[in-house]
A and B are shown apart, each in its own frame.
Chain A
Amino acid sequence: MDFVTALQIADSTVRLATPLLLACLAGLYSERAGIFDIGLEGKMLAAAFLSGAVAAVTGNVWIGLLGGIAASMALSVVHGLASITFRGNQLISGVAINFLASGLTVVIAQDWFEQGGRTPSLIGGARFTPITLPFADALAGVPVLGPIYKELISGHTILVYIAFLMVPATWWLLYRTRFGLRLRAVGEAPEAVDTAGISVIGIRYMAVGICGVLCGVAGAYMATALQAGFVQEMTAGRGYVALAALIFAKWRPWHALWATLLFGFLQAVALRYQNIDLGGFTVPVQVMDALPYILTVLILAGFVGKAIPPRAGGAPYVKER
């Protein structure tokens, strides 16, 4: 593999990892606060649809992004009501959200645009365009570092940079602020938080809300930056891969970055080489596609370290009387 190919694969990795990273961080906020969320897929799908639809109608991608976040937030509120206020089963609520998004997006898209459950192709200002960072062309001549800066670091859409900045931001928020301490505490020992006079319900709603915003950005990234419009089921299981990455990362922000980059890298390699020839031994492309899940199972089974979910995860909080 030569340098140029490696760069292209790295570039592809970044593009493929971005929606995973955003969804993974979204899940991280929610699950760290004790709300399991397998509805990431559905929220991303709803956001992809509404961002594509709003961007197509208004011609402005930023309004589209807001639309996508709104769609994802709406589903987050549903999830919050079901699992926080009414103390329902979080997994079932998540599954319901996935089905709801899968069906509603196509039906509404068909009703609005009559293009068969898709939004019109986005053109011009209705899409996020790649940003060329300063000095990218001037530095291109510098050996090794020049091409890395120009090809790999520069030339992505703004959402990619936002996604990567979210990692240190999340770390800082969770581990260096009062809100972060409370959020983590709510996921581990909600009764202690309650004893301290802080609203468990309130913190959990905030966490689910942040989750909605990040899923919204992830969905909008797919429909308005990577592609030019919404197509039915376009998330294609990325919400579930993000969940796998979250477990792989053991619910920690920096690890989430490495996990999603690894999963993105595996995808990028699988896309670039259909079958990998290791000196007479051929690795079929399906193995690469399955690796993220295999790795997650290994982690869950305790072969590679141990993944311990937040202690109060999955359980609705009931105040002692």
Chain B
Amino acid sequence: MTLMRTFLGAAATLALGAGVALAEPALIYDLGGKYDKSFNEAAFHGAEKWAQETGGKYLEIVLQSEAQREQALRSFAEAGANPIITTGFAMASPIEEVAPDYPDTLFVTIDGWVDMPNVLTIGFTEHEGSYLVGMMAAKASKTGTVGFIGGMDVPLIRKFACGYAQGVLAANPDAKVISNMTGTTPTAWNDPVKGGELANAQISQGADVIYAAAGGTGVGVLQTAADAGILSIGVDSNQNHLHPGQVLTSMLKRVDVAVYDVMMAGDEAKGGFLTLDLAAEGVGYAMDEHNQNLVNDDMIAAVEAAKAQIIAGEITVEDYGATSTCAVLKF
């Protein structure tokens, strides 16, 4: 019996060891879909980069409904995947449910907020990046009115809006910021028709630069802006190429860098909190051949100066995620 137990124990240890050695990272895309040309797609590019450089393989799933969140986490954890990377704030509570059951698996939430030993929370200072594109918007605007269109009305998106409004007012204290949210349900991430209609409403109120932080809905905003001949600002991934010469810039959120770094670290990655800010190049604005004629040296100089000041701590951008208030914008 004792012998049997030893054997069984040894076999179990071997199996576990093999599991750890073969552990593949897993990536769970949120409801916006893997190719939202934005947030989730950035995660995908990070994973692809890792796969190409290391020759490694990773598991992935695109969530189709709310109900699948916990199920996907559990099945990846059961399959021995490690680390399990998730995108989107909505994964936070399923991770809280699942993580205690798999203490040896590292769960990574990008945009969520989970305080557990085996969960790595990666956040971005979106308000700082939005502040920079807000300055550019104010400088590019001729009417002095700029717009913001968010996806689902959640604190994270308000953080974008608040940072943007602060940047706009920093560059032009007389400017007017019109802010709209697409909706309060997850369909707000995939409703380009409503996004376009919101853009039309803002244009009719005088907006001539519109910043869309709305996942797939943003595609409709950018399209309508391009049709109406005004400028737009993309988000998360570089969206300048969608309408060359009509997208002023894109607020980059380097989800790809975050995913790549975590996958590179592999088993070495530890739970905790990681904030990717301006200094860490976690956020920024996109410059390429598609928007070089839209952005002049004056804008670059102003934005770079502000960037240096934010990194140095001379400018503090109010963080809606931390304070739940916004001095310059009413929701």
Do these two chains interact? yes
Chain B residue numbers with a CB within 8 Å of A8 are 201, 204
User: Which of these binds chain A: B7-15, B69-77, B187-195?
Assistant: B187-195
Kindly state whether residue B172 has any CB partner on chain A within 8 Å.
no
Whether B194 and A121, one on each chain, are in contact in the complex, defined by CB atoms closer than 8 angstroms, is: no
CB proximity to A under 8 Å, residues B157-206:
179-181, 183-184, 187, 190-194, 196-198, 200-201, 204
CA distance A117 to B219 in the complex (A): 13
Q: Write the nearest CB–CB distance from B154 to chain A, whole angstroms.
A: 13
Given the known inter-chain contacts A117-B33, A227-B223, please indicate yes or no for A289 contacting B197, CB distance below 8 A.
no
- Interface flags for B125-152 (1: CB within 8 Å of A; 0: not) read 0000000000000000000000000000
Chain B residue numbers with a CB within 8 Å of A267 are 194, 197
Whether A12 and B193, one on each chain, are in contact in the complex, defined by CB atoms closer than 8 angstroms, is: no
User: Which of these binds chain B: A65-73, A159-167, A231-239?
Assistant: A231-239
CA distance A274 to B201 in the complex (A): 11
Kindly state whether residue A189 has any CB partner on chain B within 8 Å.
no
CA distance A121 to B183 in the complex (A): 24
- Interface flags for A206-233 (1: CB within 8 Å of B; 0: not) read 0000000000000000100011110111
B197 touches which one: A15, A115, A229, A285 (CB < 8 A)?
A: A15
Chain A residue numbers with a CB within 8 Å of B216 are 118, 231-232
Kindly state whether residue A195 has any CB partner on chain B within 8 Å.
no
Chain A residue numbers with a CB within 8 Å of B184 are 286, 289
Whether B183 and A227, one on each chain, are in contact in the complex, defined by CB atoms closer than 8 angstroms, is: no
Kindly state whether residue B242 has any CB partner on chain A within 8 Å.
yes
User: Which of these binds chain A: B35-43, B253-261, B264-272, B278-286?
Assistant: B35-43
Kindly state whether residue A16 has any CB partner on chain B within 8 Å.
yes
Kindly state whether residue B307 has any CB partner on chain A within 8 Å.
no
Whether A12 and B190, one on each chain, are in contact in the complex, defined by CB atoms closer than 8 angstroms, is: no
Whether B197 and A274, one on each chain, are in contact in the complex, defined by CB atoms closer than 8 angstroms, is: no
Given the known inter-chain contacts A231-B216, A286-B184, A289-B183, please indicate yes or no for A12 contacting B191, CB distance below 8 A.
no
Most buried by B among A229, A231, A268, A286: A231
Q: Write the nearest CB–CB distance from B51 to chain A, whole angstroms.
A: 17
Kindly state whether residue A116 has any CB partner on chain B within 8 Å.
yes
Most buried by A among B37, B41, B192, B194: B192
Given the known inter-chain contacts A116-B33, A117-B35, please indicate yes or no for A233 contacting B197, CB distance below 8 A.
no
Q: Write the nearest CB–CB distance from A151 to chain B, whole angstroms.
A: 10
Chain B residue numbers with a CB within 8 Å of A271 are 180, 194, 197-198, 201
Whether A116 and B193, one on each chain, are in contact in the complex, defined by CB atoms closer than 8 angstroms, is: no
Task: Sort chain A's interface into a size bin.
Answer: 20 to 34
Kindly state whether residue A106 has any CB partner on chain B within 8 Å.
yes
CB proximity to B under 8 Å, residues A261-308:
267-268, 271-272, 274, 285-286, 289
CB proximity to A under 8 Å, residues B276-331:
331
Whether B190 and A233, one on each chain, are in contact in the complex, defined by CB atoms closer than 8 angstroms, is: yes
Interface residue SS majority, chain A: helix
Interface residue SS majority, chain B: helix
Whether B220 and A227, one on each chain, are in contact in the complex, defined by CB atoms closer than 8 angstroms, is: yes
Q: Write the nearest CB–CB distance from B226 to chain A, whole angstroms.
A: 9
Whether A226 and B193, one on each chain, are in contact in the complex, defined by CB atoms closer than 8 angstroms, is: yes
Q: Write the nearest CB–CB distance from B286 to chain A, whole angstroms.
A: 19
Q: Write the nearest CB–CB distance from A12 to chain B, whole angstroms.
A: 6
Given the known inter-chain contacts A227-B223, A274-B179, A274-B180, please indicate yes or no for A236 contacting B187, CB distance below 8 A.
yes
Q: Write the nearest CB–CB distance from B32 to chain A, whole angstroms.
A: 9
Q: Write the nearest CB–CB distance from B186 to chain A, whole angstroms.
A: 10
CA distance A103 to B64 in the complex (A): 9
Q: Write the nearest CB–CB distance from B160 to chain A, whole angstroms.
A: 16
Whether A232 and B33, one on each chain, are in contact in the complex, defined by CB atoms closer than 8 angstroms, is: yes
CA distance A289 to B37 in the complex (A): 27
Q: Write the nearest CB–CB distance from B179 to chain A, whole angstroms.
A: 7
Most buried by B among A12, A121, A228: A228
Q: Write the nearest CB–CB distance from A246 to chain B, whole angstroms.
A: 20
Smallest Cβ-Cβ distance to B331: which chain A residue: A274
Given the known inter-chain contacts A115-B35, A121-B242, please indicate yes or no for A227 contacting B196, CB distance below 8 A.
yes
Whether A12 and B192, one on each chain, are in contact in the complex, defined by CB atoms closer than 8 angstroms, is: no
B187 touches which one: A118, A222, A226, A237 (CB < 8 A)?
A: A237
Whether A234 and B190, one on each chain, are in contact in the complex, defined by CB atoms closer than 8 angstroms, is: yes
Q: Write the nearest CB–CB distance from B73 to chain A, whole angstroms.
A: 22
Smallest Cβ-Cβ distance to B220: which chain A residue: A227
Whether A274 and B190, one on each chain, are in contact in the complex, defined by CB atoms closer than 8 angstroms, is: no
Chain A residue numbers with a CB within 8 Å of B183 are 289
Q: Write the nearest CB–CB distance from A90 to chain B, whole angstroms.
A: 24
B190 touches which one: A19, A228, A236, A286 (CB < 8 A)?
A: A236
Beyond A236-B193, A271-B197: 15 further Cβ-contacts under 8 Å? A8-B201, A12-B197, A19-B193, A103-B64, A106-B33, A116-B35, A116-B37, A117-B35, A228-B227, A234-B191, A234-B192, A236-B194, A267-B194, A271-B198, A274-B331
B residues with CB within 8 A of A = 33-37, 41, 64, 179-181, 183-184, 187, 190-194, 196-198, 200-201, 204, 216, 219-220, 223, 227, 242, 331
The 7 closest A-B pairs by CB, nearest first: A116-B35, A236-B191, A8-B204, A233-B190, A236-B187, A272-B201, A227-B192
Q: Can you report 6 A-B residue pairs in the complex whose CB atoms are below 8 A from each other?
A: A16-B197, A106-B33, A115-B35, A231-B190, A237-B187, A274-B331
A residues with CB within 8 A of B = 5, 8, 12, 15-16, 19, 103, 106, 110, 115-118, 121, 222, 226-229, 231-234, 236-237, 267-268, 271-272, 274, 285-286, 289
